[in-house]
Structure 1
């Protein structure tokens, strides 16, 4: 399993294409051959998956009980808008307009690596998350989430 590292600021061109940063592309050599999948995140952002990771998500979803209405609703919401991204000759990917609208993405974005996925945030939204954050808030969150865990 690949765990991506880094945070990258990018600009979209007028056609909503984004150059995949070289430092990120090096972490996923299979991207030129296999492509990527982009989809909505749980908050107002997008998530990029490698094809291998997306296949794992699809496998997980296929094992859920589709006779349950909540499961069907979740699957619809989770997969809504999922789009295959291919790199062009200039290492750019074209972000779908509907997904950009969902995430409030205009021109400036931040790619934030989260283990085996990459989140795409509008730069403004990403920075707003940190404006009122303090080290005390982070410390409390760490204690709540990680405290008492045998890792």
Structure 2
């Protein structure tokens, strides 16, 4: 799969329908004949939209966890809470319908940010997205960028250096 990246601002109507921007729709086009999965994020008040095939890969990893005891079952229940697994995106219009229970969880009203994050798309209420970006200080961002680029991926300079 081509990496899907980029921030896209759009609007949701009163029924929770979003028209995907053309650039994002084009990147998701290879999956348009298949279902998508939409779920709550584990660590933020946003939603995550996965092509079915990518979500199935993720669940295969989850289910390979060796401990299937009570804690795992509780975690799995919370991880999949509110999940909708038969979401479609209209191939022609690029329209996505967000289920009501998930609209409430994410606090989506009108202004929406779709943040494509490699293999899935985060769906944010715009004020929450901006608040989340502000939650990491510039110093924390710089330090973590240094760790990622100079401690892992070699030959890639950190942002802002030459």
Structure 1 range deviating more: 102-111 or 83-92: 83-92
CA distance 1:72–1:65, change in 2 (3 Å): farther
Shift of 1:147: 4.5
Greater Cα shift, 89-98 or 12-21: 89-98
Between the aligned partners of 1:115 and 1:25, the Cα distance in structure 2 is: 14
Distance verdict in 2 for CA 1:122–1:62, change over 3 Å: same
1:95-140 deviation line (CA, Å, top 9, x unaligned): 0111111111111110111111111111001112334655433212
Within the candidate set 70, 76, 96, 2:99 is matched to 96
* 95-104 or 58-67: bigger deviation: 58-67
Alignment match, 2:157: none
In 2 relative to 1, CA 150–95 (structure 1 residues): closer, same or farther, beyond 3 Å?
closer
Given that 1:40 and 1:82 are in contact with CA atoms closer than 8 Å, whether structure 2 keeps it comes out as yes
The Cα RMSD (Å) is: 2.0
Task: Map 1:1-151 onto structure 2 (within 5 A).
Answer: 1-42=1-42, 43-65=44-66, 67-83=68-84, 84-88=86-90, 90-131=93-134, 135-149=138-152, 151=154
Give the aligned length.
151
Per-residue deviation, 1:37 = 1.0
Separation of aligned partners in 1, 2:73 and 2:51: 24
TM-score using structure 2 length: 0.82
Residues of 2 paired with 1:150 and 1:7: CA distance? 23
Structure 1 residue ranges without an equivalent (≥5): none
Note if contact 1:25-1:31 (Cα within 8 Å) is conserved in structure 2: no
1:15 to 1:140, Cα distance in 2 relative to 1, 3 A = same
Residues 86 and 93 of structure 1 are in contact (CA less than 8 Å); yes or no, is this contact kept in structure 2?
A: yes
Task: Provide the C-alpha distance between the structure 1 equivalents of 2:123 and 2:153, rounded to a whole number of angstroms.
Answer: 31
